Amino acid sequence: MPVELPNLRVWCRCLTLLLFPASLVAQDPPKPREFSADVGYVSTSGNTDLSTLNLGERLILRAGAWEHKQQFGSVYASQDGEQTSNLLFTNWRSDWSFRPSLALFGYIGFDRNEFAGISRRFEQALGLAAKLPTVRADRWTLEAGLALNQQRGTDGTTLNFASVRSATTYKHMFSKSAYFQQGVEFLPSLKVSEDYRVNTESALVAPISSHIAMKVAYVVRFDNLPEVGRAKNDRIITSGLQFNW
């Protein structure tokens, strides 16, 4: 998928901020509310008509021992008038911290990926999340739980199953606003041992101003037992602007 690159001046500014010494990164107290929105668009015409659009948003609300997160994301692409990608997901998660480094979480999510043969999939999960001891510029969390899944294929078949939900997230802060983040999810079915999914996202964010940043992300969605006639891997590269409040 083509990626639209910023001009050289913007990249130089981003690299300068990323190389800012990590030892000077301060740990500000969490904000009671955070909101960010991502947008990226590429369009070409001539010998090939190609367009790609990625959208995303994240809302975080904090109150006492509670933290709530809501996310939405979409990737759409077409080439020569034919749709080549149409991915959509949204979710809500609530964490209750009963210890400084431990929290119970509840999660509900929805995703659709028609080119992978999934017309809709719902997931509800409960589990435990742990924040591991790290240095000041690094954050690392682990989580594990159980989930229920309701899935419908584009061919009309339905599948309901329980699964294990395990994940880890690592975040390194280059400065207060520039960071690298790596997330990995492992979702094995408890019904069929060969049926498991692995989702990963590698993201690099560098600020341009106090509320605007450049974001480049590489997402892999792996399904070891895909729908009939579908590939196991979906790989997505996105780049664009992130707006933060």
Residue whose pair of structure tokens reads 């995303």 in the numeric block:
56
Residues forming a β-bridge with 237: 218
Query: Do 196 and 227 form a contact (C-beta atoms < 8 A)?
Result: no
Whether 237 is in a domain gets the answer yes
pTM: 0.80
Whether 33 is in a domain gets the answer no
User: Which long-range contacts does 52-56 make (Cβ < 8 Å, 24+ apart)?
Assistant: 52/1, 52/2, 52/76, 52/77, 52/85, 53/77, 54/238, 54/240
Question: Can you tell me whether residue 10 is helix, strand or coil?
Answer: helix
> At 99, phi and psi to the nearest 5?
-140, 160
Whether 133 is in a domain gets the answer yes
Whether 34 is in a domain gets the answer no
- Number of structural domains (the chain) is 1
What is the per-residue pLDDT across 140-197, written as a single tens digit (0 to 9) for each? 999 999 999 999 998 889 999 999 999 999 999 998 889 999 999 999 999 888 999 9
Whether 29 is in a domain gets the answer no
Count of CB atoms within 10 A of residue 54's CB?
Answer: 25
Task: Return d(Cα 4, Cα 175) in angstroms, integer.
Answer: 25
- Indicate the pLDDT class of residue 6, thresholds 50, 70 and 90: very low
Q: Which range marks the domain in which residue 66 is found?
A: 8-20+40-244
Whether 205 is in a domain gets the answer yes
Task: Return d(Cα 79, Cα 74) in angstroms, integer.
Answer: 17
Give mean pLDDT, residues 83-103.
91
Identify the CATH number of the domain in which residue 223 sits.
2.40.160.40
pLDDT the model gives residue 187: 94
Closest CA to 214 of 13, 1, 2: 13
Over the chain, what is the mean pLDDT? 85
Residue 128 has pLDDT above 90, yes or no: yes
> At 61, phi and psi to the nearest 5?
-125, 130
Give mean pLDDT, residues 31-45.
86
30 secondary structure, DSSP code: P
pLDDT the model gives residue 19: 46
Whether 76 is in a domain gets the answer yes
Whether 26 is in a domain gets the answer no
Question: Can you tell me whether residue 32 is helix, strand or coil?
Answer: coil
Chain centroid offset of residue 164 CA: 19
